[in-house]
Amino acid sequence: MSFAGGLFLTFEGIEGCGKTTQMRLLVERLRGLGYRVTENQEPGTTAIGKQIRRVLLDPENSEMAPVAELLLMFASRAQAAAEIIRPALARGEIVVSDRFTDSTLAYQGYARGLGFDLVRTAHRLALDELQPQRTIAIDLDLETALRRAHRRNAATSDEESRIDRQSFDFHARVLEGYRRVAELEPERFRFVDGSGSEQEIAGRVWAEIEPLLRK
Ligand code: TMP
């Protein structure tokens, strides 16, 4: 099944909120129903995006300037838009992205203090009018989410990334940044309660997505 012009969905949230699991469950469900789905992850996915991701998350790069961080996020995203997102939408597919520009609004715009206007200007430059039709932000309290993120890093022996390493207050500001976006764009940006079982949360996500499939 396909859509004229495609359908673009994104997942957002703080580290450890469960968005990646919920994205996987949604993609499986959509594919099970016969939809063609293309996945994307920011920063990353394309060969160039993966190289940019390494630079962005390398703990050695502690001196990275906030504006450099912002522009690298958009460099990865511009490449993904050209290689993956726009072509899939043109084929009428559903594109689901693990993070997109709302992450930059929350992390660089709000938590790092660069401001929403600068992020929006960079978005227009890198991506023109490309916007998701719906964004799901998984809402989990900060303590639970960060505990989970730390546990996962320890279990996978992944080094904590440069951005994971930020203070509790930084992550609190990220969450506040997402709340601001939700206030500004309530139709597109939906917080979904991230407490309960994976299946319960998946049911809440589905309730926000399913109406778009009938349009
Ligand atoms: P991930 O852990 O969800 O893969 O995200 C990688 C890190 O990059 C995470 O700490 C959030 C951060 N990030 C930003 O700061 N700005 C952005 O625009 C994006 C996409 C991610």
Backbone angles phi, psi at 63, to 5 degrees: -90, 10
Indicate if the alpha-carbon torsion angle 155, 160, 165, 171 is positive or negative.
Answer: negative
Q: Average pLDDT of the chain?
A: 95
Residue 125 has pLDDT above 80, yes or no: yes
d(CA 65, CA 68): 5
Q: How far is CA 6 from CA 23, 85, 136, 164, in A?
A: 18, 10, 18, 33
pLDDT (tens digit, 9 = 90+) per residue, 9-35? Answer: 999 999 999 999 999 999 999 999 999
pLDDT > 90 in the chain, percent: 88
- What's the CA-to-centroid distance between 208 and ligand 1, angstroms? 23
Residue 1 has pLDDT above 80, yes or no: no
Position 163 confidence tier, pLDDT thresholds 50, 70, 90: confident
- What's the CA-to-centroid distance between 214 and ligand 1, angstroms? 31
Residue among 43, 45, 32, 30 nearest 87 (CA): 45
Q: How many CB atoms lie within 10 A of CB 82?
A: 13
Residue 2 has pLDDT above 80, yes or no: no
From the CB of 104, is ligand 1 less than 6 Å away? yes
- What's the CA-to-centroid distance between 42 and ligand 1, angstroms? 7
Residue 157 has a pLDDT of 63
Mutate which of 42, 74, 156 for ligand 1? The one with the most ligand atoms within 8 Å of its CB, which is 42
From the CB of 106, is ligand 1 less than 6 Å away? no
Where does 76-215 show beta strands of DSSP type E? 94-98, 134-139, 189-193
Residue 3 has pLDDT above 90, yes or no: no
From the CB of 102, is ligand 1 less than 6 Å away? no
From the CB of 132, is ligand 1 less than 6 Å away? no
Where does 102-195 show beta strands of DSSP type E? 134-139, 189-193
Q: Name the residue with the closest Cα to ligand 1, atom 20.
A: 42
pLDDT (tens digit, 9 = 90+) per residue, 86-123? Answer: 999 999 999 999 999 999 999 999 999 999 999 999 99
pLDDT (tens digit, 9 = 90+) per residue, 166-214? Answer: 889 999 999 999 999 999 999 999 999 999 999 999 999 999 999 999 8
pLDDT (tens digit, 9 = 90+) per residue, 192-204? Answer: 999 999 999 999 9
Residue 181 has a pLDDT of 98
From the CB of 10, is ligand 1 less than 6 Å away? no
Residue among 119, 114, 123, 134 nearest 206 (CA): 134
Cα torsion 126, 73, 24, 140 to 10°: value is -120
